[in-house]
Chains A and B, each alone.
Chain A
Amino acid sequence: AQSVAQPEDQVNVAEGNPLTVKCTYSVSGNPYLFWYVQYPNRGLQFLLKYITGDNLVKGSYGFEAEFNKSQTSFHLKKPSALVSDSALYFCAVRVRGSGTYKYIFGTGTRLKVLA
Chain B
Amino acid sequence: EAGVAQSPRYKIIEKRQSVAFWCNPISGHATLYWYQQILGQGPKLLIQFQNNGVVDDSQLPKDRFSAERLKGVDSTLKIQPAKLEDSAVYLCASSFGSDRGRYNEQFFGPGTRLTVL
Contacts and interface: CB of A to CB of B under 8 A. Distances in A.
A73 B4 CA distance: 30
Interface string A72-115: 00000000000000000010101001111111011110000000
A92 B45 CA distance: 12
A98 B58 CA distance: 10
Interface stretch (A11-19, A38-46, A62-70): A38-46
B46 to A, nearest CB: 11
Contacts of B56: 97-100, 102
B21 interface: no
A34 interface: yes
A46 B105 contact: yes
Determine the interface band of chain B, counting residues with CB < 8 A from chain A. 20 to 34
Contact of A98 (B4, B45, B55, B98): B55
A99 B56 CA distance: 8
Contact of B50 (A4, A100, A107): A100
Contacts of A42: 110-111
Interface of B: 4, 6, 31, 33, 40-45, 48, 50, 55-56, 58, 91, 93, 98, 103, 105-111, 113
